[in-house]
Structure 1
Amino acid sequence: MLRNFSSLLTNRNTLIILLNRNFTSLEVSTALRPFYFAVHPDLFGKYPRERARNESSLQQLSSILEKIQKSKFVPPVSLSFYVKDKAKKTGKFRFINIHLQGNDIRTTLCTILQSCDLPTDYVDRIIPLPSTDNPNTNFKFRYKNEVDFTKVNQNHPIYAHIKMQMDMKRAQELLRLKNYLQKNALEALKKSRKGDIHREEVKRLQEIITNELQVEDLRWDCSWNEEHRKGCLLSFMSLVNQHPRIKYVLKGRVLIFSSFFTGVSLDGHIMLYSGEVRNNWLDFLKNIDRYDEALKRIPAFENSLSHVLRKIKIGRRKFMPKIVAGQYEQNLRQITTSLSDYIGLKHFPDEWPTSLENFEIVVETEAGPLMVSPTGQFIVPATIPGSLLVNFITTNLEEASKKNCGL
C-alpha cells in the first residue's frame, strides 16, 4: 500500500481514495489571516463584552484546529464572534455563529472564512477540490479525516482488518484510561484537598499583606500553583518584617508577582519576579526611586520620537510583551537615535504626508514583530535600523490608513 494514500472498496464499482495531505501550521495561520484581522480583540478595545467573546472563541478555535491537525476526534461545535461591519462603515458589529462539524481541515478552514464572507482562494490553491467532471467515475476522493468508516462496505476483506485494528486501539485506550484513573484517583483527591488548604492560606496571607502594608492590590502574573504561591508570600512577609522601611515603598502601589522580571512596569506597578531570591527583591525595593524616575522620563522620550517622526502618535498595545520602564526607555532612545542618524544622511520619502499625526507607532522589544496591526498601528522592534523603518512605513502607509479608517 502506498505511503501517500490508502484505498478501500465500498462496492464492486467504486473505490475510495483516502488523501492524507494536511495543512501545516503555517499554512493554517496564513489561510486564516483575513479572519484573524476581522475578529482580532484589539479591534474591540472600547467594547469589553465583544472583546471577551472573541478572545474566548479564538482560544477554543485554536484548540480545535490543533486537534484536527493531529487527527483527533472533534465533536460538532458552534463558535460565535463579533465582526466589525466595515462595508457599511456604521461602527456597529455583526454577530456570527460558525458551525464546525467533521475532522477535515480544509472544510473547517473554508467554513470559517465563508462565515465571514472572506475568500477561500488560498485554501483552494493548497488543496483544490477533486474534479467531479465525470459523474461515471469509479473513484471517490475523501480526505483522511473526512472518512466515515460506518458507511463503508463491512463485507470487504480489507475492512475486517481495519475494524480489528480500530477495536484493539479503542480497547487499549479504555484500559489505559481505566488503569490510570484507578491508580491515581486517591492521590488526585488527596492533592485536591491539600490544595484547598493552600488556597485558604494564600487568601489569608494576601489579605494580611494588603491590609497591613496598605497595598492597593496584590496580583499574580505567573503560573505557579497554590503551594508555591504560599511559599512566595511567606518569603515576602519575612523580608518585610526584617526590613520594615520597605513598607512605605509599597503603600498605595499595586504589587504583582511576575514570571518575567523585577522592576516597575509601564503602568507604575511594582513587579517582583516570583522565582528570584529575596536579596534581589530587597535591592530593587531600596532603590525603587531610581526606577520610578525612569518611568517619569518616558513621556519625554515618546515626545522626542514623535517629533523626529513627523508628530506620529506613540502607542502601546494592551497585550504587548511585559517590559520594565527602564528597558522601554532604552528602546525609545535606541529607535530615536537610529531615525536621527537616518535623517542626518537622507530625507524622508516625498510620498510621505507632511505630518504623520494620524498614524500610530508601537515600539516593542528587540524580539518584537514588524507588522501593521489590525487597528492600523505600526508595530516595530526597537533594534530596527532607521532606513528599514522608513521603508516599512512607506510600504504600509496606505494599509495603515485603510485600517484606521475602518475603525
Structure 2
Amino acid sequence: MKIVTPTYRLCRKLCSLTTFVRYLTASQASEALRPFYFAVHPDFFGQHPKERAVNEESLQRLSNYLENLYGTGIASPTTVKFYLRGQGSNAKNTAQNTENHVTVYTQAVTIKLFSQDVQSTVSQILRTCHLKTDHLKSLVKKGAHRSQVYSRPIKWDHTYYAYANKQKPGDATPPARSKQTLESWLTKNRQRALRRLEKSQLIRDDADNLRSELCNRYHLRDIRWESDWNIGAFRMSLSSFRKILEENPSYALYIRDKELIFGSITGICKEGFILLSNESVPQYWSRVLEHLPNAAPQMNLLLTMEGELSGYLGNAVISHEKYFHRITIEDYAILLKKMLSSFKVYHLSRRRWKEGRVILPNSMTDLKIIVEGIIGHLAVTTSGQLVVPASTQPQNVINFLVQNKEKCLQKVNNYPRLQANRKRLFAQCIKNYNLRSLEVDVSLTEDQVNNGLNRLIDNKLPLSVSMQDLRIRISRYYTVLRDGEVYIPWDLHIT
C-alpha cells in the first residue's frame, strides 16, 4: 500500500518542476535533500505524535517555500522547526526504549529560510541539520553543464531578461537590472500590511494586557519578546506562563524582581534573566522555574571564575552584557573553564616570557571584555568592549588587548554621544512618518542601523504617505509578517 505523506508530495512537486535556479534542478534538489528527508520523515515518529505533527507541518511549509522559488523566484522568509531522528546518545532529547521498538533519539532544530535560490536553501538546510554537503557540490557541477531540456529554444518575455539581468537573444547589450526601491515595494504591500495590522490588533492588545498583568501581579521587572515569531505566539507564551504560575503559586517568590525574556533558548542567561523558549513545551518551563533558587550559587561561581580570568588580563572587567546571542549560565561556565584552562597553561609556560607577552596587573581596569562562543573572531564593539571567543589562543588575546586599548577607550568616551544620536534618529523617524513602532534587527551593527535611519530621514517627502501607520523593523530584506509588521533592509533604495 502506498502511503502519501508530505515528504512524498514534496518530492513529487519538486520533480514535476523544470525551471533552473542556480544550476540546481528540482530533481537534483530532491536528491540532495534525501539525507534530510530520511532524518525527518514523519513515518519514523510513530511513537511520538507531537514530533510527527511538527515535522508534517514543517515539510508542508518547506514544500511551499521551494515551490515559490521554482515558480516565481521569490519566497517570503520563514522559519521551520524539525525533529531529527538519530541513533546517537548526544542528541538533545531522547525517547525511552519501548518493547519491540528501536530507540529513537530526536533533536529539535530550527531552520531559517531566507535565501532566494534553491542551491543556497538546500545547503542551509543540510548545514543546519549537521548533514554532509559534499554530494551537493557534484550535483551543482553536473547541473551547470546540463544540456537544454527542451527540444526547441525558449523565447521568454522581455520582462524575464530584465529581472534576471540576462541578455536577450539578438540584443547587443544586456539590460541593467532594476533595483528594488522602498517606494515601489510599499506601493504594492502597504495595504496588505495595514489589513494584517488591523486583524492582529486585538491579539496585540490582549498580549499587552497580559504582559502588564503578569508584571504587576508577580512583580516582574519586565517581560520581553526576542523571537522571530509573530505577536500571536507571544500572546500564547504569556498565557501558558500565567497558567504555570497559577498552578504553582510557589514560583511567584522565585521570579520576583526578575526579568523574563521569551526567545529561542530556555534557562537562566549569564545576565541573570529568565529565558523561556516559545518553542519548548510548558513542562520544560516548569522545570526551569522550579530550579531558579539554585541559580544564585551558580552565578556566584561564575563571578569567581570571571575574577580569576580577569587576573590574567590585567584586571579587565569581564562583562555580562549580551553581544549577539543569549547564552545560559551552564554554557557560559563551559566557555570560562575553557579560557581559564588555556591561560593557566600559558601562564606557566616559558614561551610567555620568551615572547614578552605579559600584561601588568591593573593595567587594563578600564576595559570590558565579553566572552563569546567557541567560534568567532576578536572584535571591538561600538561601545568599546572587546569580544573574545573562548577558543582564542591566550597570546592572541593578550596582543589584541594591548594593541586596541586606546581604541577601546576612545569608543567608550564616544559611545554616549552615539547613543544620544541614535535615540534622536529613532524619534525623528517615528515623528516624520507617524509610525506605530520602529525597531531594528539584533543582527545589525550600529553603523548599519544609523545608515538605514539616515536614509529614511533624508527622504521624508517621497515616503510621507506610504509609511504612515506602519510597524517597521529595519532588517536585511523586505517582507510583511502575518501580524502586519513590515521588514525593510537597512541598505534600502528609496526611489
Structure number with larger C-alpha Rg? 1
What TM-score does the superposition give when structure 1 sets the normalisation length? 0.49
